[in-house]
Structure 1
Amino acid sequence: MAELNAYMKFRGNAREAMTFYQRCLGGTLHLMTIGETPAMKEQMPEAVWDKIMHSVLTSGSVMLMGSDLTGEEAYSQGNALTICLVCKSKEEIETLFTKLAEGGTVITPLAEMFFGLYGALTDKYGFHWMFQYSETQNA
């Protein structure tokens, strides 16, 4: 079965917030800026290259992920939290994505990214979901 993890979006203070959560929960924190991500760096203005594109805090069985909201995606309470399913197989990600997309809106169709298979949608109840599968993560 897939794992369920929280993915938090911040108003430009993801580094500060994730560092705070690490101090509270312990564990290992990995931060990746927009400037460190070639594909994102090409698409975004230099003014946001220091913003967090993706972060992961792992402590025991706890995994918190997050990023800064940049560009046209404005902060609102409804999009501050995204449910992220880290799937165990390609079949699982395809099945779960298809089921949860029913009656909803696909934001990013399932596609191979530099980190693995990824997709995003808003379900029919208005909740935001991200789906992730990596063969190397599940090897």
Structure 2
Amino acid sequence: MKIHAYLIFDGNCAEAFTFYAQCLGGAASIMPVSENAECAGMFPADQHHRTLHACLTLGDQLLMGSDTLGDQPYDGIKGCHVSIQVGSIAEAERVFAALSAGGEVQMALEKTFWAVRFGMLKDRFGVPWMINCEADNASA
């Protein structure tokens, strides 16, 4: 069994997943409504630019998402964080800086009692993230 996060956006999913691929690496696959004839017919033309499904693949891990479609209400992403575990302080600092660009730092990346680096942020798309580095494997 694997558990993967699925994020819902309100029209900017493609932009977010392109940003995540730049920040985290991996490959982003983005399918707008317009590329699926069966689904395109189900939604008004002004929604065809929205993302039907997006997937960021990092090895055997996935981060998935889509935009709201139809008349679905959107209330933002609440009640959870996407948590990233990294193996070095340098990688923690790189990922934290990249994801927080244009966003809001909620807890600065710093040493804690459980980790050599931990920080929390909300990216420019409103997605909450936690970056955790339990040990600096780069110095091992």
Which category describes the TM-score, using the shorter chain as reference length? Answer: 0.5 to 0.7
Provide Cα deviations, 1:89-123, integer angstroms capped at 9, x if missing partner. xxxxxxxxxxxxxxxxxxxxxxxxxxxxxxxxxxx
Partner residue of 1:57?
A: 56
Partner residue of 1:66?
A: 65
| Inter-CA distance 16–6: structure 2 relative to 1 (3 Å threshold) | same
Give the letter aligned to residue 7 of structure 1. Y
Provide Cα deviations, 1:34-67, integer angstroms capped at 9, x if missing partner. 0111221110011111111001100123310011
For 1:49 and 1:80, the matched residues in 2 are separated by: 29
Q: Larger Rg: 1 or 2?
A: 2
Partner residue of 1:7?
A: 6
The structure richer in strand per residue is 1
RMSD: 1.9
For 2:76 and 2:49, the matched residues in 1 are separated by: 24
Partner residue of 1:31?
A: 30
Name structure 1 gaps, 5 residues minimum.
Answer: 82-139
Identity %: 35
Partner residue of 2:46?
A: 47
Q: With structure 2 as the length reference, what TM-score do the two structures score?
A: 0.52
Question: How many residues in Structure 1 have an aligned counterpart in Structure 2?
Answer: 80
Q: 1:7 touches 1:66 (CA, 8 Å); kept in 2?
A: yes
Q: 2:53 touches 2:65 (CA, 8 Å); kept in 1?
A: yes
Q: 1:8 touches 1:80 (CA, 8 Å); kept in 2?
A: no
Deviation at 1:79, TM superposition (A): 7.6
Q: With structure 1 as the length reference, what TM-score do the two structures score?
A: 0.53
Deviation at 1:77, TM superposition (A): 3.9
For 1:77 and 1:35, the matched residues in 2 are separated by: 24
| Inter-CA distance 79–39: structure 2 relative to 1 (3 Å threshold) | farther
Provide Cα deviations, 1:12-35, integer angstroms capped at 9, x if missing partner. 100111111111110111110101
Equivalent positions of 1:1-139 (< 5 A) are 2-77=1-76
Give the letter aligned to residue 35 of structure 1. S
